[in-house]
Amino acid sequence: MPKGVPNKKPEAAVAAPTDQTQLKREILFMQALREVLITLRLYSDEHLRRKIGKERLTDASLEFFAFMEAGSEPLRQDEQLALSIQLLRSLSKYIVNVMNVPVTLKTMIDCIGLIEPAVDRSFPGYWGSKLLKYTILPVRVAV
Residue-range domain boundaries for the chain: 19-130
pLDDT at 134: 87
Give the residue among 94, 130, 96 at the shortest CA–CA distance from 114: 94
- Cβ pair 24, 81 in contact under 8 A: no
What's the pLDDT score for residue 14?
Answer: 47
The closest of 71, 126, 72, 121 to 92, measured between CA atoms, is 121
Mean of the pLDDT values across residues 121-143? 82
The pTM of the full predicted model, rounded to 2 decimals, is: 0.82
Mean pLDDT of 107-125: 96
